[in-house]
Amino acid sequence: MNFLEVSGVSKKAGKTFELEPLSFDLPRFRKLAIAGETGSGKSTLLKMIAGWISSDTGEIRFEGTRLKKIPDEKLIPGHPGIAYLSQHFELANFLTVEQVLSYANELSEAEAATVYEICRIDHLLERRTDQLSGGEKQRIALARLLVNAPRLLLLDEPFSNLDMIHKNLLKTVLHDVGEQLGITGILVSHDPQDTLSWADELIVLRAGAIVQQGTPQQLFHQPADTYVAGLFGKYNLLPVHTALPGLPPAQETKTHYMIRPVHLKITGDGWPAIVQQVRFFGNYEELDITTGDLQLLVHCDTGTARKGDTIRLSASPNNIWQL
Ligand SMILES: Nc1ncnc2c1ncn2[C@@H]1O[C@H](COP(=O)(O)OP(=O)(O)OP(=O)(O)O)[C@@H](O)[C@H]1O
């Protein structure tokens, strides 16, 4: 028995969208992220697991028990043991944070104090809910779910609308929730970059279907297609007939080599190339380069090359993937 078993669930939403029957298992304590472009069905899937909407087919089992469907088998959304942090959470007005949390609390005082500490909200307990920033409200909404002692936490786009500082703070909080509270998590994000550092496993959706499932490393280095490759960052495509030294023999059925810009290294020997453009991104620079009739992107340390330079490039065979 797996902690969570999703078997053949499908859902029609609106006139045109259909989440195709999909299945996956999630062992306890494993962090799963669901990525995909806008409208690919991420939230629909998460809401079905949360018990906010029902699937048209299939079933979901949590800790061995089949989850009841709403509204056929139960009227109130949600399932015991599963917490769902929606994009549109609400906190009761005119209450202090402490009141909001104590009404929901099912933990001992010491356990609740640990949750407040992990959520970095100790200093906010006396505040009223209308005296909080968006990021603070969100961490309180999260704490309110955690004081119900869930075993599975579902997070729907938790990083949207947060500036970099609050986003990083929330990432630390979510890391600690998994590590210190031992809560299994599923996170949905339209920005796959946010999921790479958090997840143990990723599912990529496109148009309501799973296109790839694997570790963040697999999805980044060995994407199933250009859609998955593009979700996780920029990439170069070189036709397999490209005559550059060091490229591995092309596999049958593959048409292109894929190399991430960060994996093209400027070296003493390698393919001669001309730098056409340099763009500054702070931590790195992005070069437009041409080699023969190919145009490629290279990411390198700032100040490595200037427009017009002739450079030499190479890539380790480990960082060349075929599509
Ligand atoms: N209640 C609904 N009524 C009509 N259409 C819906 C409903 N819920 C979802 N849809 C449609 O289903 C599709 C998938 O929506 P969903 O919210 O699951 O996508 P998503 O991948 O989470 O997108 P985003 O990243 O933009 O949140 C969309 O085309 C959406 O318009």
Task: Kindly report the protein residue whose alpha carbon is nearest to atom 9 of ligand 1.
Answer: 13
Task: Kindly report the protein residue whose alpha carbon is nearest to atom 18 of ligand 1.
Answer: 41
Q: Write out pLDDT tens, residues 11-21.
A: 998 889 999 99
Q: Ligand 1 center to residue 212 CA distance, Å?
A: 20
Question: Ligand 1 within 6 A of 207 CB?
Answer: no
Could you tell me which residue, 197 or 153, shows the higher pLDDT?
Answer: 153
pLDDT band for position 1 (50/70/90)?
confident
Query: What is the value of pTM for the model shown?
Result: 0.91
Question: Ligand 1 within 6 A of 236 CB?
Answer: no
Overall average pLDDT of the 25-35 stretch: 96
Question: Ligand 1 within 6 A of 13 CB?
Answer: yes
Question: Ligand 1 within 6 A of 17 CB?
Answer: yes
Q: Taking phi first (over 0 means left), then psi (-120 to 50 degrees means alpha), and beta for anything else, what does residue 157 get?
A: left
Q: Where in the chain is the domain with CATH 2.40.50.140?
A: 234-322
Residue 101 has pLDDT above 90, yes or no: yes
pLDDT band for position 141 (50/70/90)?
very high
pLDDT band for position 238 (50/70/90)?
very high
Question: Ligand 1 within 6 A of 40 CB?
Answer: yes
Question: Ligand 1 within 6 A of 42 CB?
Answer: yes
Instruction: Compute and round to an integer the Cα radius of gyration of the chain.
Output: 23
- Please state, rounded to an integer, the average pLDDT across all residues of the chain: 93
Given this model, what pLDDT does residue 89 score?
Answer: 84
By the 10 Å C-beta count (0-12 exposed, 13-18 middle, 19+ buried), 149 is classed as: middle
pLDDT band for position 194 (50/70/90)?
confident
Question: Ligand 1 within 6 A of 88 CB?
Answer: no
pLDDT band for position 172 (50/70/90)?
very high
Q: What is the ipTM of this complex?
A: 0.93
Residue 90 has pLDDT above 90, yes or no: no
pLDDT band for position 77 (50/70/90)?
confident
Q: Write out pLDDT tens, residues 161-170.
A: 888 898 999 9
The DSSP secondary structure of 273-322, one letter per residue, reads EEEEEEEE-SS-EEEEEEETTEEEEEEE-TTS--TT-EEEEE--GGG-EE
Give me the CATH code for the 234-322 domain, please.
Answer: 2.40.50.140
Could you tell me which residue, 47 or 92, shows the higher pLDDT?
Answer: 47
Overall average pLDDT of the 123-146 stretch: 94
Question: Ligand 1 within 6 A of 190 CB?
Answer: yes
Residues 6 or more apart whose CB falls under 8 angstroms from that of 103 comprise none
Percentage of the chain lying above the pLDDT 70 cut: 100
Question: Ligand 1 within 6 A of 189 CB?
Answer: no
Q: Write out pLDDT tens, residues 152-163.
A: 999 999 988 888
Q: Ligand 1 center to residue 203 CA distance, Å?
A: 17
Question: Ligand 1 within 6 A of 129 CB?
Answer: no
205, 40 contact by CB (below 8 A): yes
Q: Where in the chain is the domain with CATH 3.40.50.300?
A: 4-226
Could you tell me which residue, 69 or 22, shows the higher pLDDT?
Answer: 22
CATH 3.40.50.300 at 4-226, yes or no: yes
Residue 36 CA, closest ligand 1 atom number: 21
Given this model, what pLDDT does residue 140 score?
Answer: 95
Q: Ligand 1 center to residue 44 CA distance, Å?
A: 6
